[in-house]
Chain A
Amino acid sequence: MAETATTDLTDLPLAALHAELGAKFVPFAGWNMPVQYASGVMAEHLWTRAHAGLFDVTHMAQVRLPKGALDALEGLVPADLMGLPEGRQRYSLFTNAAGGVLDDLMIAHRAGDLFLVVNASRRAHDLAHLRAHLSDVEEVTDRALLALQGPEAEAALAALVPAVTAMKFMDVAVLGWQGAELWISRSGYTGEDGFEISVPVAMAEGFARALLADERVAPIGLGARDSLRLEAGLPLYGQDMDEDISPVEAGQAWSIGKARRAGGARAGGFPGADVILDQLAHGAPRRRVGLRPEGRAPMRGDVMLYATPEGGAPIGRITSGGFGPSLGAPMALGLIDAATPADAVLYGDLRGKRLPARQVPLPFVPPGYKR
């Protein structure tokens, strides 16, 4: 069994609070991250779906760009950024020339700047990528990032910051709490309603403790964050998306703005646009699929998928999978040959045995976003 390695890892600013709350830590993308607390992944997952979970996602990089960079940033992503109103946030992807994905990110259009949140594992890459194409790229290092997720997140946060009740899904706002400026978005990565809150490091512990004092709020680790996002059918960069998987293949074509598509006002104009727009028009070689393995055995990442119970070459693989606590069953995301019939039973090779898995629509669990 793996021991927790702590060498060469960066501690979160709230590491002491997590330890006090009974966190177990694991290394993740160079950070020493709380993977779970005393109640465990299953209970934390179910708590978030029923109440409100507080996640420390300070490992993700926060980046500011000048407001005027919207145009240039649009040259790096397939989202319609020129059509992104002030006060709104959009999910997008950095693409490469081959039509693959360099990272996924959130882009907020604020009154005085653009605010980006990118994956921890891609921090250095994304900063270099942005600086190669844009000027005045500023990494924000004096703020923690917390996510409050779940059906009671609004009520719990509103007890401290009443104005959040006026925010809708993907709205962003700067709101005050005890003299601190909170950068809030109504978003997250759990499939639940909720908020991501950037708070100055000096105020972060007080703010986290104020939230945790609410009986509706419990601290939730990285383990449940992964099972929550998977149940919500949300892809994880590095597993379900990477430089060799296109947004169309990854099931993220919805994030390509109408203005950026063929016939749109600003069609193309992002890296790999020729490949990606061609896939939109004529289909991609592979497609993402939701899978429900029969029985209770989870099929995890890199399980090979076949069209038949024996023989034949693989038609794809599982990119991430596990057990869904709300679903009460195993679930997985796969990347398969696009020609595979939508009603075909697939077979995952689990320890040398091929076990059946049904293709199902995503998400596995209905979302609770407040639009």
Chain B
Amino acid sequence: MKYTEDHEWLSLDGDIVTVGITEYAATQLGDVVFVELPEIETQVAKGDEIVVIESVKAASDIVAPVDGEIVEINETLAENPALVNEDPTGEAWFFKIKIEDPSVLDDFMDEDEYKDHIGE
């Protein structure tokens, strides 16, 4: 598992990266009440705001962590946004993105580095 400074986790399987938000991020957001996901087959560039998460408190964006194509989205989240709080690093993944070069993940933090990043 790799981590971004925006508190996303990335899990690589072949050339497919599954993306979600960390426990820390889910706690900071508070109770999630709405998730808007990107369309499948969309080409996204690193930094594009592609997911909107609304909690009781506020709206936030999730950015594409890498360039690639959205190949799958987690439709369950539209029905049950609270899953983001219940299981952020498991069932509440947001989207899967197909990438050209898996080595781009090397630039992201590993778990220890991420823990330092959030001050744990």
Are A and B bound to each other?
yes
A219 to chain B, nearest CB (A): 16
A276 on interface, CB distance cutoff 8 Å: no
CB pair A300 B60 closer than 8 Å:
no
Chain B residues in 8 Å Cβ range of A45: 56
1/0 per residue, CB under 8 A from B, across A69-90: the answer is 0000000000000000000000
Most buried by B among A1, A42, A223, A325: A1
**Given A1-B7, A1-B25, A322 and B56 touching (CB < 8 A)?**
yes
Describe A's contact surface by its main secondary structure: mixed
If A1-B7, A1-B28, A296-B81 touch, whether A42 touches B56 (CB-CB below 8 Å) is: yes
Chain B residues lying within 8 Å of A42, measured Cβ to Cβ, are 30-31, 33, 56
Which of A35, A40, A227, A298 contacts B59, CB < 8 Å? Answer: A298
Tell me the smallest distance from the CB of A321 to a CB of chain B, in Å: 11
A322 to B55, CA, bound (A): 9
B23 within 8 Å of A by Cβ? Answer: no
**CA A1 to CA B21, docked complex, whole Å:** 12
A223 pairs with B28, CB closer than 8 A: no
Task: Report if B52 contacts A (CB, 8 A).
Answer: yes
Please measure, in the bound complex, the distance between the C-alpha atom of A223 and the C-alpha atom of B59, giving whole angstroms: 14
User: When the two chains form the complex, which single residue of B31, B36, B59, B60 contacts A1, counting CB atoms closer than 8 Å?
Assistant: B60
Query: Residues of B within 8 Å of A, CB-based: how many?
Result: 20
A248 and B54 alpha carbons, distance in the complex (Å): 32
B63 beta carbon closer than 8 Å to chain A: no
Q: What is the bound-complex CA distance between A36 and B30, given in angstroms?
A: 9
* Distance from A364 Cβ to chain B, minimum over Cβ atoms (Å): 15
Residue from the list A296, A297, A323 in contact with B56, Cβ < 8 A: A323
Shortest beta-carbon distance from B95 to chain A in Å: 17
Which residues does chain A contribute within 8 Å of B33, judged by CB atoms? 42, 296, 298, 323, 330
Chain A, Cβ-Cβ closest to B60: A1
Is residue B34 within 8 Å, beta carbon to beta carbon, of the partner chain? yes
Q: With A296-B81, A297-B36, A298-B34 known to touch, is A325 a contact of B28 (CB < 8 Å)?
A: no
Could you tell me if A223 and B57 are in contact, using CB atoms closer than 8 angstroms?
A: yes
Q: Given A40-B56, A41-B30, output 9 extra A-B contacts at Cβ < 8 Å.
A: A1-B28, A1-B60, A42-B31, A42-B33, A296-B81, A297-B52, A298-B54, A322-B56, A323-B34
Give me 20 A-to-B residue pairs in the complex whose CB atoms sit less than 8 angstroms apart, sorted by A's number. Answer: A1-B7, A1-B29, A36-B30, A40-B30, A40-B31, A40-B56, A41-B55, A41-B57, A42-B30, A42-B31, A42-B33, A223-B30, A296-B33, A296-B78, A297-B34, A297-B36, A298-B33, A298-B54, A323-B34, A325-B56
